[in-house]
Each structure stands twice: as C-alpha cells, then as structure tokens.
Amino acid sequence: MLTAFVILLMICVRVWNYRGPGAAQPITGPVAAGLLLLVAWAAGLELGRPTGRSAAYALVGVLVLAACCAAALAIPPIRRLLAQATPAPHPWRSALRDIPLATVTFEEVAFRGVLWASIARDFGGAWATVVTAVLFGLWHIKPHRERPVVAAGTVVFTGLAGALLAVLCQAGGSLVVPFAIHWAANAFGVLTVKAAHTGTDEGGP
C-alpha cells in the first residue's frame, strides 16, 4: 500500500514536470520531497543519517566526476563532440538552482530514499535496487520527444545509473551520497558542454 502511494505521488510529480510551468519546478521538487519524507516518517521507514563515511563517499564521487569532465575538455576530439550538444540557456543557474532543486532533491528522496526503503522492507534490498533502477530508467522517457532507439538507450543508461546510485547510497549509509553524485553528474555535464562551446568559439583546437 505504501509503495503504491509513493509511486502514485511520483507519477503526479512527473506529469506536473511536463505540464506545469517551468518556473514552479524548483519549488515543486522540494515540496514533493518533503511530503514523501513525512510519509516515510509516518510509516516508520529508516532512510539513514549523514555520517563521516557518507560525506567521504559523496566527496570522492564528486571529485571523480569533476576529473572526468576536466579530462573530456582536455581531449580535443571529445571537446569538439561536446560542442555539438546544445548548451543550457543559463548553465550556472541550471547547475546551482534548477538541477538540485527541480531534479535531484525529489528524485533522490523518491527513488533512493522512500521508494527504496518501502520495497526493501517488504521484499529486501536487492529487489528494491532492481525495481527502483528500472523505474528510474522509465522516469527519463520523454514522451513524443525522442526516437525509440534513443529512448531505449536513455532508459538503459539511467536505469544502470539508478542501480549504481542505490548501491552507493547503501554503502555510504545516507542520501547525501547519491544526492551529491547525481547533482555533480548533471551540473558538471551542463557546465562542461558550456565550456566546450566557449573553447570552440574562441578558436580552440
């Protein structure tokens, strides 16, 4: 019953993501995440607490992603490939406001937090990781916006990413870990594309 309620709320949020005004999304994410946390508290779910270990996992993950992005920009063929992507209109605003508030907060509380804990309580951690990973992949389908092969690739890639984030969350013992890594992956990606365009515009190799 709890799992069904959480999934229903997630569906409502996803519909709002596509139908609601963009300006409201940075507010919707934290509010919906707060509602899920209240549900988890009322149901007695244990979501873990930040510790030194979770901070260390988060920091290492962020640094690894930063190093990967820096390496991509340092390799001319990869930088030129990144420059073919469409940059965000406001990359720094996206990285520092939109991504953490409109995207990461709700997705981590929902997928790696409340939904994972609810499924794990009934069926165990392995099933929780598999189910939340599959749903995380499906979450990233963009209706009427992608070719089937692109949509399938997106589902597989984000599903695997969801599984990895769930494993790291459990290893670190806190949502701090997937939150930091999820934010870094998205934010650094936006900033890296912008940097690649800047380098190309300035006549980089």
Q: Is the pTM of this model over 0.95?
A: no
Q: Which two tokens stand for residue 133?
A: 């990973």
What is the spatial distance between Cα 190 and Cα 185, in angstroms, rounded to a whole number? 9
Query: Residues 48-82: pLDDT tens digits?
Result: 999 999 999 999 999 999 999 999 999 999 999 99
What is the spatial distance between Cα 57 and Cα 183, in angstroms, rounded to a whole number? 14
Query: Residues 132-157: pLDDT tens digits?
Result: 999 999 999 887 767 888 889 999 99
Q: Residue 164 to residues 133, 134, 140, 168: CA-CA distances in angstroms?
A: 8, 12, 16, 6
